[in-house]
Protein backbone atom coordinates (compact mmCIF):
# COMPACT_ATOMS: atom_id res chain seq x y z
CA UNK A 1 0.00 0.00 0.00
CA UNK A 2 1.03 3.57 -0.70
CA UNK A 3 0.78 5.94 2.27
CA UNK A 4 0.67 9.73 2.23
CA UNK A 5 0.95 11.92 5.32
CA UNK A 6 -1.17 15.05 5.04
CA UNK A 7 -0.10 17.61 7.62
CA UNK A 8 3.59 17.64 8.33
CA UNK A 9 3.79 19.25 11.76
CA UNK A 10 5.02 17.70 14.99
CA UNK A 11 2.93 14.52 14.67
CA UNK A 12 3.40 14.04 10.92
CA UNK A 13 7.15 14.41 11.11
CA UNK A 14 7.52 12.11 14.13
CA UNK A 15 5.20 9.55 12.58
CA UNK A 16 7.40 9.42 9.50
CA UNK A 17 10.46 8.83 11.72
CA UNK A 18 8.77 6.00 13.59
CA UNK A 19 7.45 4.34 10.43
CA UNK A 20 10.97 4.48 9.06
CA UNK A 21 12.37 2.84 12.21
CA UNK A 22 9.68 0.15 12.18
CA UNK A 23 9.73 -0.48 8.44
CA UNK A 24 10.77 -4.12 8.66
CA UNK A 25 7.86 -4.88 11.01
CA UNK A 26 5.46 -3.11 8.64
CA UNK A 27 6.82 -4.83 5.52
CA UNK A 28 6.25 -8.21 7.21
CA UNK A 29 2.56 -7.35 6.97
CA UNK A 30 2.61 -5.58 3.61
CA UNK A 31 5.74 -6.20 1.61
CA UNK A 32 4.73 -3.49 -0.87
CA UNK A 33 4.29 -0.76 1.75
CA UNK A 34 5.64 2.61 0.60
CA UNK A 35 5.52 6.16 1.90
CA UNK A 36 4.83 8.10 -1.28
CA UNK A 37 3.71 11.54 -0.13
CA UNK A 38 4.05 14.18 2.56
CA UNK A 39 2.09 17.42 2.50
CA UNK A 40 2.15 20.62 4.52
CA UNK A 41 -0.02 23.72 4.16
CA UNK A 42 2.03 24.98 1.21
CA UNK A 43 2.08 21.88 -0.94
CA UNK A 44 3.51 18.38 -1.06
CA UNK A 45 6.35 16.17 -2.06
CA UNK A 46 5.57 12.94 -3.87
CA UNK A 47 7.39 9.95 -5.27
CA UNK A 48 5.48 6.94 -6.52
CA UNK A 49 8.48 4.68 -5.86
CA UNK A 50 8.73 5.83 -2.25
CA UNK A 51 10.01 9.05 -0.75
CA UNK A 52 13.58 9.53 0.38
CA UNK A 53 12.55 9.45 4.02
CA UNK A 54 15.97 10.23 5.47
CA UNK A 55 16.07 13.45 3.49
CA UNK A 56 12.57 14.39 4.71
CA UNK A 57 13.32 13.70 8.35
CA UNK A 58 16.45 15.80 8.42
CA UNK A 59 14.92 18.76 6.55
CA UNK A 60 13.47 21.57 8.65
CA UNK A 61 11.07 22.82 5.97
CA UNK A 62 10.03 20.34 3.32
CA UNK A 63 8.75 23.22 1.17
CA UNK A 64 12.38 23.93 0.28
CA UNK A 65 13.14 20.43 -1.01
CA UNK A 66 13.63 19.95 -4.73
CA UNK A 67 10.55 18.30 -6.17
CA UNK A 68 8.22 20.09 -3.73
CA UNK A 69 5.00 20.98 -5.52
CA UNK A 70 3.21 24.15 -4.47
CA UNK A 71 -0.20 22.59 -5.02
CA UNK A 72 -2.99 21.78 -2.57
CA UNK A 73 -2.48 18.53 -0.67
CA UNK A 74 -5.88 17.57 -1.99
CA UNK A 75 -4.24 16.76 -5.34
CA UNK A 76 -2.40 13.87 -3.69
CA UNK A 77 -5.79 12.35 -2.95
CA UNK A 78 -7.55 13.45 -6.13
CA UNK A 79 -5.05 11.92 -8.53
CA UNK A 80 -5.02 8.40 -7.06
CA UNK A 81 -1.46 8.74 -5.85
CA UNK A 82 -2.03 6.86 -2.57
CA UNK A 83 -4.11 4.07 -1.00
CA UNK A 84 -4.07 5.29 2.57
CA UNK A 85 -3.67 8.73 4.13
CA UNK A 86 -2.81 9.89 7.60
CA UNK A 87 -4.71 13.17 7.95
CA UNK A 88 -2.81 15.12 10.59
CA UNK A 89 -3.59 18.76 9.78
CA UNK A 90 -4.43 20.99 12.78
CA UNK A 91 -7.75 20.47 14.52
CA UNK A 92 -10.39 23.03 13.59
CA UNK A 93 -13.71 22.49 15.28
CA UNK A 94 -15.46 25.38 13.53
CA UNK A 95 -15.64 23.98 10.02
CA UNK A 96 -13.26 21.01 10.23
CA UNK A 97 -11.07 22.35 7.42
CA UNK A 98 -8.84 21.53 5.74
CA UNK A 99 -9.13 18.03 7.23
CA UNK A 100 -12.80 17.52 6.49
CA UNK A 101 -12.35 18.08 2.76
CA UNK A 102 -9.31 15.80 2.68
CA UNK A 103 -11.07 13.00 4.54
CA UNK A 104 -14.32 13.31 2.60
CA UNK A 105 -12.58 13.12 -0.75
CA UNK A 106 -10.32 10.25 0.31
CA UNK A 107 -13.17 8.12 1.62
CA UNK A 108 -15.33 8.85 -1.41
CA UNK A 109 -12.50 7.45 -3.54
CA UNK A 110 -12.08 4.36 -1.34
CA UNK A 111 -8.82 5.58 0.16
CA UNK A 112 -8.34 4.47 3.79
CA UNK A 113 -8.10 7.32 6.28
CA UNK A 114 -6.30 7.39 9.62
CA UNK A 115 -6.61 10.60 11.55
CA UNK A 116 -5.82 12.11 14.93
CA UNK A 117 -7.73 15.22 13.78
CA UNK A 118 -10.79 15.79 15.97
CA UNK A 119 -12.47 18.54 13.89
CA UNK A 120 -13.88 16.42 11.06
CA UNK A 121 -14.95 13.68 13.48
CA UNK A 122 -16.75 16.08 15.79
CA UNK A 123 -18.58 17.80 12.96
CA UNK A 124 -19.35 14.92 10.61
CA UNK A 125 -18.88 11.59 12.39
CA UNK A 126 -21.94 9.87 11.00
CA UNK A 127 -21.43 11.18 7.46
CA UNK A 128 -17.79 10.07 7.38
CA UNK A 129 -18.30 6.61 8.90
CA UNK A 130 -21.13 5.96 6.45
CA UNK A 131 -19.00 7.18 3.56
CA UNK A 132 -16.23 4.77 4.59
CA UNK A 133 -18.71 1.90 4.82
CA UNK A 134 -20.26 2.69 1.45
CA UNK A 135 -16.87 2.77 -0.26
CA UNK A 136 -15.53 -0.27 1.59
CA UNK A 137 -12.61 1.50 3.17
CA UNK A 138 -11.40 2.13 6.70
CA UNK A 139 -11.70 5.28 8.78
CA UNK A 140 -9.69 4.89 12.00
CA UNK A 141 -9.03 7.63 14.54
CA UNK A 142 -7.39 6.08 17.59
CA UNK A 143 -5.12 9.09 18.02
CA UNK A 144 -7.99 11.59 18.11
CA UNK A 145 -9.09 10.86 21.67
CA UNK A 146 -6.83 10.36 24.69
CA UNK A 147 -3.69 10.03 22.53
CA UNK A 148 -1.91 6.81 23.31
CA UNK A 149 -4.83 5.19 25.19
CA UNK A 150 -6.21 2.71 22.64
CA UNK A 151 -9.82 3.16 23.64
CA UNK A 152 -11.45 2.53 20.24
CA UNK A 153 -9.48 -0.58 19.36
CA UNK A 154 -9.87 -1.85 22.92
CA UNK A 155 -13.65 -1.71 22.69
CA UNK A 156 -13.61 -3.04 19.13
CA UNK A 157 -11.21 -5.94 19.68
CA UNK A 158 -11.00 -6.65 23.42
CA UNK A 159 -14.53 -6.09 24.71
CA UNK A 160 -16.46 -7.57 21.79
CA UNK A 161 -19.04 -9.25 23.99
CA UNK A 162 -19.43 -6.38 26.45
CA UNK A 163 -21.99 -3.62 26.30
CA UNK A 164 -20.59 -0.22 27.33
CA UNK A 165 -22.99 1.32 29.82
CA UNK A 166 -21.23 4.46 31.02
CA UNK A 167 -17.92 6.21 30.46
CA UNK A 168 -16.01 8.69 32.62
CA UNK A 169 -12.76 10.23 31.52
CA UNK A 170 -9.99 12.67 32.16
CA UNK A 171 -9.65 13.58 28.52
CA UNK A 172 -7.53 16.73 28.58
CA UNK A 173 -3.93 16.66 29.79
CA UNK A 174 -3.60 20.45 30.10
CA UNK A 175 -6.40 20.82 32.63
CA UNK A 176 -5.23 17.72 34.47
CA UNK A 177 -1.79 19.26 34.74
CA UNK A 178 -3.25 22.52 36.12
CA UNK A 179 -5.54 20.76 38.61
CA UNK A 180 -2.72 18.43 39.70
CA UNK A 181 -0.40 21.38 40.36
CA UNK A 182 -3.13 23.08 42.37
CA UNK A 183 -3.65 19.84 44.31
CA UNK A 184 -0.01 19.03 45.07
CA UNK A 185 1.60 22.48 45.21
CA UNK A 186 -1.34 24.37 46.68
CA UNK A 187 -1.07 27.15 44.12
CA UNK A 188 -3.90 29.14 42.55
CA UNK A 189 -5.53 28.41 39.20
CA UNK A 190 -3.93 31.53 37.71
CA UNK A 191 -0.41 30.54 38.72
CA UNK A 192 -0.86 26.91 37.65
CA UNK A 193 -2.18 28.10 34.28
CA UNK A 194 0.74 30.50 33.83
CA UNK A 195 3.18 27.70 34.66
CA UNK A 196 1.47 25.40 32.14
CA UNK A 197 1.71 28.12 29.50
CA UNK A 198 5.41 28.64 30.20
CA UNK A 199 6.01 24.91 29.86
CA UNK A 200 4.14 24.80 26.53
CA UNK A 201 1.43 22.57 28.02
CA UNK A 202 -1.27 25.26 27.75
CA UNK A 203 -1.90 27.63 24.83
CA UNK A 204 -1.74 31.40 25.13
CA UNK A 205 -5.55 31.36 24.78
CA UNK A 206 -6.35 28.50 27.15
CA UNK A 207 -10.12 28.50 26.71
CA UNK A 208 -10.15 25.49 24.37
CA UNK A 209 -8.71 23.41 27.21
CA UNK A 210 -9.81 25.03 30.48
CA UNK A 211 -13.40 25.66 29.40
CA UNK A 212 -13.76 22.01 28.47
CA UNK A 213 -14.20 22.46 24.72
CA UNK A 214 -11.46 19.98 23.85
CA UNK A 215 -12.83 17.38 26.30
CA UNK A 216 -16.34 17.96 24.94
CA UNK A 217 -15.11 17.19 21.41
CA UNK A 218 -13.73 13.90 22.70
CA UNK A 219 -17.00 13.09 24.45
CA UNK A 220 -18.79 13.61 21.13
CA UNK A 221 -16.45 11.24 19.30
CA UNK A 222 -16.54 8.62 22.07
CA UNK A 223 -20.34 8.71 22.25
CA UNK A 224 -20.76 8.34 18.52
CA UNK A 225 -18.08 5.70 18.08
CA UNK A 226 -18.56 3.52 21.15
CA UNK A 227 -22.21 3.90 21.95
CA UNK A 228 -23.77 4.28 18.54
CA UNK A 229 -25.14 7.75 19.27
CA UNK A 230 -25.36 10.68 16.90
CA UNK A 231 -24.54 13.70 19.03
CA UNK A 232 -22.97 17.08 18.40
CA UNK A 233 -20.82 19.35 20.54
CA UNK A 234 -23.85 21.36 21.66
CA UNK A 235 -25.29 18.22 23.23
CA UNK A 236 -22.45 18.26 25.78
CA UNK A 237 -22.99 20.41 28.88
CA UNK A 238 -19.79 22.18 29.83
CA UNK A 239 -18.48 23.73 33.04
CA UNK A 240 -15.06 25.44 33.00
CA UNK A 241 -12.36 24.85 35.62
CA UNK A 242 -11.78 28.63 35.86
CA UNK A 243 -14.02 28.80 38.93
CA UNK A 244 -12.05 26.17 40.87
CA UNK A 245 -10.27 27.85 43.75
CA UNK A 246 -7.33 26.66 45.80
CA UNK A 247 -9.71 26.63 48.78
CA UNK A 248 -12.05 24.16 47.05
CA UNK A 249 -9.17 21.87 46.16
CA UNK A 250 -7.76 21.99 49.70
CA UNK A 251 -11.14 21.15 51.24
CA UNK A 252 -11.55 18.24 48.85
CA UNK A 253 -8.04 17.02 49.59
CA UNK A 254 -8.71 16.96 53.33
CA UNK A 255 -11.60 14.61 52.63
CA UNK A 256 -9.42 12.44 50.33
CA UNK A 257 -10.84 13.75 47.08
CA UNK A 258 -9.25 15.49 44.12
CA UNK A 259 -11.08 17.82 41.75
CA UNK A 260 -10.76 16.64 38.16
CA UNK A 261 -12.29 17.80 34.88
CA UNK A 262 -14.37 14.75 34.02
CA UNK A 263 -16.06 13.97 30.74
CA UNK A 264 -19.14 11.83 31.28
CA UNK A 265 -21.23 9.73 28.92
CA UNK A 266 -24.34 8.62 30.72
CA UNK A 267 -27.90 9.64 30.05
CA UNK A 268 -26.46 13.14 29.89
CA UNK A 269 -23.23 14.16 28.19
CA UNK A 270 -21.15 16.43 30.34
CA UNK A 271 -17.71 17.91 30.88
CA UNK A 272 -17.40 19.41 34.35
CA UNK A 273 -15.15 19.50 37.41
CA UNK A 274 -15.99 16.63 39.77
CA UNK A 275 -14.81 15.29 43.09
CA UNK A 276 -12.97 12.00 42.57
CA UNK A 277 -11.80 9.86 45.52
CA UNK A 278 -7.99 9.92 45.48
CA UNK A 279 -7.94 6.13 45.62
CA UNK A 280 -10.15 5.69 42.57
CA UNK A 281 -8.34 4.37 39.44
CA UNK A 282 -9.58 7.40 37.48
CA UNK A 283 -7.73 9.75 39.83
CA UNK A 284 -4.49 10.15 37.86
CA UNK A 285 -2.32 13.23 37.87
CA UNK A 286 -0.01 15.37 35.77
CA UNK A 287 -0.67 15.33 32.04
CA UNK A 288 -2.02 11.77 32.12
CA UNK A 289 -5.42 10.92 30.68
CA UNK A 290 -7.69 8.18 31.99
CA UNK A 291 -10.86 6.51 30.77
CA UNK A 292 -13.11 4.52 33.07
CA UNK A 293 -15.60 2.23 31.35
CA UNK A 294 -18.58 0.57 32.95
CA UNK A 295 -19.73 -2.49 31.05
CA UNK A 296 -22.20 -5.29 31.64
CA UNK A 297 -19.61 -8.10 31.88
CA UNK A 298 -16.21 -6.70 32.88
CA UNK A 299 -18.05 -4.22 35.15
CA UNK A 300 -15.23 -1.67 35.41
CA UNK A 301 -12.13 -1.18 33.32
CA UNK A 302 -9.83 1.82 33.58
CA UNK A 303 -7.16 2.79 31.08
CA UNK A 304 -4.46 5.31 31.82
CA UNK A 305 -1.92 6.81 29.43
CA UNK A 306 -0.60 9.92 27.77
CA UNK A 307 -3.21 11.95 25.96
CA UNK A 308 -1.07 14.01 23.64
CA UNK A 309 2.42 14.36 22.21
CA UNK A 310 4.69 11.84 20.57
CA UNK A 311 3.00 8.95 22.40
CA UNK A 312 -0.01 9.42 20.08
CA UNK A 313 2.07 7.82 17.34
CA UNK A 314 1.50 4.47 19.07
CA UNK A 315 -2.20 4.89 18.22
CA UNK A 316 -1.65 6.08 14.66
CA UNK A 317 0.79 3.28 13.88
CA UNK A 318 -1.61 0.71 15.32
CA UNK A 319 -4.31 2.06 13.01
CA UNK A 320 -1.96 1.82 10.01
CA UNK A 321 -1.09 -1.79 10.85
CA UNK A 322 -4.78 -2.59 11.33
CA UNK A 323 -5.59 -1.31 7.83
CA UNK A 324 -2.64 -3.16 6.30
CA UNK A 325 -3.68 -6.43 7.98
CA UNK A 326 -7.28 -6.07 6.89
CA UNK A 327 -6.61 -4.95 3.37
CA UNK A 328 -3.41 -6.55 2.20
CA UNK A 329 -3.72 -9.73 0.21
CA UNK A 330 -0.56 -11.68 0.98
Q: Using the rule CB under 8 A, which residue among 1, 77, 139, 148 binds a copy of itself?
A: 148
Among the listed residues 118, 322, 313, 89, the one whose alpha carbon sits nearest the alpha carbon of residue 224: 118
Rounded to a whole number of angstroms, the minimum distance from the CB of residue 292 to a copy of itself is 8
List, in sequence order, every beta strand (DSSP E) within the chain: 2-6, 34-40, 43-46, 84-87, 112-114, 139-140, 164-170, 236-238, 257-265, 269-277, 288-295, 300-306
* Catalytic residue (choose from 218, 267, 274, 330): 218
The DSSP result for 19-62, as a single string, is: HHHTHHHHHHH-TT-EEEEEEETTEEEE-TT---HHHHHH-S-G
Per-residue contact track with a copy of itself, 83 to 122, x per CB under 8 A? ----------------------------------------
Task: Name the burial class of residue 100, with classes exposed (0-12), middle (13-18) and buried (19+) by CB atoms within 10 angstroms of its CB.
Answer: buried
Count CA within 13 A, CB hemisphere, residue 220: 25
With CB under 8 A as the contact rule, which of the stretches 88-96, 132-140, 188-196, 312-320 interacts with a copy of itself?
Answer: 312-320
**Measured between alpha carbons, how far is 58 from 24 in angstroms, rounded to an integer?**
21
Q: Using the rule CB under 8 A, which residue among 101, 306, 307, 308 binds a copy of itself?
A: 306
Q: Using the rule CB under 8 A, which residue among 105, 239, 321, 328 binds a copy of itself?
A: 321
To the query of whether residue 274 is one of the catalytic residues in this protein, the response is: no
- CB contact at 8 A, 4 and 79: no
User: Contacts with a copy of itself in 157-216 (CB under 8 A)?
Assistant: 157-162
Rounded to a whole number of angstroms, the minimum distance from the CB of residue 313 to a copy of itself is 6
How many residues touch a copy of itself (CB under 8 A)?
A: 45
Per-residue contact track with a copy of itself, 5 to 34, x per CB under 8 A? -------------x---x--xx--------
User: Contacts with a copy of itself in 286-305 (CB under 8 A)?
Assistant: 288, 290, 295, 297-305
Among the listed residues 124, 125, 123, 102, the one whose alpha carbon sits nearest the alpha carbon of residue 113: 102
- Residue numbers annotated as active site: 218
Residues forming contacts to a copy of itself in the complex (CB under 8 A) are 18, 22, 25-26, 142, 148-150, 153-154, 156-162, 278-279, 281, 284-285, 288, 290, 295, 297-306, 310-311, 313-315, 317-318, 320-322
Amino acid sequence: MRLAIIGFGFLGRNLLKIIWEKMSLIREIDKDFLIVGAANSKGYIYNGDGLNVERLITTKDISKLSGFRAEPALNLIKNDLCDIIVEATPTNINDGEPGLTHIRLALSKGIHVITPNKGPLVLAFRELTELAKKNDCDLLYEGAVAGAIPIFSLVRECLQGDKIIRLYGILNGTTNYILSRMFFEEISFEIALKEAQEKGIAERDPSYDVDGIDAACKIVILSNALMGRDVKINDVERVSIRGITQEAISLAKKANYAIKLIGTINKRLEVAPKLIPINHPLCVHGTLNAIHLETDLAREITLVGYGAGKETISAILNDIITVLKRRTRK
